[in-house]
Structure 1
Amino acid sequence: MPEPVRHICGISGGKDSSALAVHMRERVPDMEYFFCDTGAELPETYEYLTRLEVILGKPITRLNARRGFDHWFELFRGTLPSPQMRWCTKNMKIKPIEEWIGHDAALSYVAIRADESNRKGYISTKKNIETRFPFIEDGIDRAGVMRILEDAGIGLPEYYEWRTRSGCYFCFYQRKAEWIGLAERHPELFERAVAIEQKVLLEAGADGEADFSDRAMRGRQYTWSGGETLVQLRSRRDEILTRHEAAMSRAATRQANLPLIEALADALEEEDDTAPCTVCAL
């Protein structure tokens, strides 16, 4: 008799994966929900997961709780993760998922929407894991995701007031305005990110005020945000927020009655269109 197939749905703490979990709760009653906990998530993310468990009526398995960012940061000799060296995604997201599944046959449900079908999320190369895209199959776009969350009575995580991507509080994919948002809403987390960055700079023999372009060309990440330290970025707060507010205004002008989250997304994309982490940002 063949082994039963496991049905799994990863939740990042973002709107799309959360809506998919709600969308699938009655369609696949034996669904297993999981969250890769880096130990560096926003408080809003943990709070939202607790609320989501109530809606789902079952627990969300936390993976990787014993070996978070600090463990891997030391293992990689104080090298910050970057788009060119995404050891965080590999070691704190993909490996824990595949270890948790093991050799079991599994169907992995991924929250790629119908209006972004050219985007890729986590797709395992292991032969025992098959990927499904229910939103694409069912024609569910961004508006559909919002309806699912509103109808379930859970809405959006509170961090969507100032950032549009789930993930670590120090994620290097954050835009400048999102770093300022972190500094103002969670100053203690911003200071932790500063301390990590300063440790890397100290070990590299940098003074924290240097031009990092030559180092970036050699492939090592010395700062969280490209081209400047967080201390330098924070010193430009007013300039960054002025530009961000202007971008928000342009986004609202382009389309009347644009919801806040969409105006925020459009404004941030205008400021920085860097592609987010394909695992963390669903």
Structure 2
Amino acid sequence: MASTERHICGISGGKDSSALAMYLRDRVPNMEYFFCDTGAELPETYEYLDKLETALGKPIARLNPRKGFDHWFEVYRGALPSPQMRWCTKKMKIEPLEEWIGEDAAVSYVAIRADEASRKGYVSTKPNIRTVLPFVEDNIDHDGVLRILDEAGIGLPKYYEWRTRSGCYFCFYQRKAEWVGLSERHPELLERAIAIESKVRQDAGADGDASFGEFAMKGRQYTWSGGESLPDLIARREEIIERHAASVESAEKRKKNRTVWDVLGDALDDDDDTDQCTVCAL
């Protein structure tokens, strides 16, 4: 292995990547840790990164895009990012990361667990970046991740009390109950998300009949949450909470002695089983 090869570990602010960072701390002394900061992360994420940085004993590089969300929002002509057009991931996370690495030979450590070996994470197509999966190689599963965090004394991020995924406060991968959670925990951030969504709907027309050239296409995203505007979603708050409470109760009965995070994750999957962002969710 060339001595100039860089070793990098991305941290999303989630449990798996944080546990991997701690797992590698003493195993790879020359590790470089990084966080792709869109500027739209949850306050709990920034708080947890500071805590993790102290535990690691070295800084976590904050990689910021050259241009922020508002710029790319205009470039994509007011199209909200969506599972079909994830320009936020490409422009605000992947491109800043690959610019930071440059042409250096690098080993990228990705936090895919042994119990989810078929799951996809970010794998660069650049020939100078080689990806390794330490948790898969060392057979570390979900329980192992929680054990690493507990032994390190850092536990889980506080957003796990109501949300199971890291990422932007307006992430389109959020489930209905998580949007309600955002409204309760960070109402000012919900209002920002509503303002962005309202601009799109106003520009497109209430019926979604837009004329944005190439972006006026099937699958264009006019709302953050599956065709339902955020005000309409929040208007159904009691219904969503009731359904979520029933899902939590059902999840608790499936197996005893489960963590709050396990129960919440199962309940949210029952509410809305959607995919996750391959960069943000680890």
Unaligned runs of 5+ in 1: 209-214
Query: Tell me, what secondary structure is at the counterpart of 1:183?
Result: helix
Question: TM-score with structure 2 length normalisation?
Answer: 0.95
The alignment-based identity, stated in percent, is 72
2:20 aligned with 1:50: no
The aligned counterpart of 2:241 is 241
Alpha carbons 1:20, 1:135 under 8 Å: kept:
yes
Matches of 1:274 and 1:249, distance apart in 2: 20
Following TM superposition, by how much is the alpha carbon of 1:227 offset from its aligned partner in structure 2, in angstroms? 2.1
Total equivalences in the alignment? 276
Following TM superposition, by how much is the alpha carbon of 1:115 offset from its aligned partner in structure 2, in angstroms? 0.5
Matches of 1:70 and 1:24, distance apart in 2: 36
| Aligned-partner residue type, residue 148 of structure 1 | I
Matches of 1:260 and 1:195, distance apart in 2: 32
The aligned counterpart of 1:100 is 100
Q: What are the residue-to-residue correspondences of 1:114-125 with 2, within 5 Å?
A: 114-125=114-125
Matches of 1:128 and 1:72, distance apart in 2: 27
| Aligned-partner residue type, residue 171 of structure 2 | C
Can you list the C-alpha shifts for 1:137-164, whole angstroms capped at 9, x where unaligned? Answer: 1111111000111111100000000000
Matches of 1:65 and 1:226, distance apart in 2: 27
Q: What are the residue-to-residue correspondences of 1:135-146 with 2, within 5 Å?
A: 135-146=135-146
Following TM superposition, by how much is the alpha carbon of 1:271 offset from its aligned partner in structure 2, in angstroms? 1.3
In structure 2, relative to structure 1, the CA distance for the partners of 1:160 and 1:106 (3 Å cut) is same
Following TM superposition, by how much is the alpha carbon of 1:224 offset from its aligned partner in structure 2, in angstroms? 0.2
Following TM superposition, by how much is the alpha carbon of 1:65 offset from its aligned partner in structure 2, in angstroms? 5.2
Instruction: Give runs of ≥4 in structure 1 deviating > 2 Å.
Output: 65-68
Matches of 2:112 and 2:44, distance apart in 1: 23
Following TM superposition, by how much is the alpha carbon of 1:172 offset from its aligned partner in structure 2, in angstroms? 0.2
| Aligned-partner residue type, residue 45 of structure 1 | T
Can you list the C-alpha shifts for 1:110-138, whole angstroms capped at 9, x where unaligned? Answer: 00000000001010111110000000111
| Aligned-partner residue type, residue 71 of structure 1 | H
In structure 2, relative to structure 1, the CA distance for the partners of 1:271 and 1:29 (3 Å cut) is same
Can you list the C-alpha shifts for 1:207-266, whole angstroms capped at 9, x where unaligned? Answer: 79xxxxxx9981210000012100000000000000001000000001012211000000
Alpha carbons 1:107, 1:130 under 8 Å: kept:
yes
Unaligned runs of 5+ in 2: 209-214
Q: What are the residue-to-residue correspondences of 1:52-201 with 2, within 5 Å?
A: 52-64=52-64, 66-201=66-201
Matches of 1:60 and 1:30, distance apart in 2: 13
Matches of 1:56 and 1:199, distance apart in 2: 42
Matches of 1:243 and 1:162, distance apart in 2: 15
Matches of 1:207 and 1:225, distance apart in 2: 16
Matches of 1:159 and 1:89, distance apart in 2: 21
Matches of 2:180 and 2:171, distance apart in 1: 13
Query: Tell me, what secondary structure is at the counterpart of 1:136?
Result: helix
In structure 2, relative to structure 1, the CA distance for the partners of 1:50 and 1:66 (3 Å cut) is farther
Matches of 1:126 and 1:3, distance apart in 2: 20
Alpha carbons 1:8, 1:33 under 8 Å: kept:
yes
The aligned counterpart of 1:219 is 219
Query: Tell me, what secondary structure is at the counterpart of 1:27?
Result: coil
Question: TM-score with structure 1 length normalisation?
Answer: 0.95
Higher mean alpha-carbon deviation, 171-180 vs 219-228, is at 219-228
Query: Tell me, what secondary structure is at the counterpart of 1:9?
Result: strand
Calculate the aligned-residue CA RMSD, in Å. 1.6
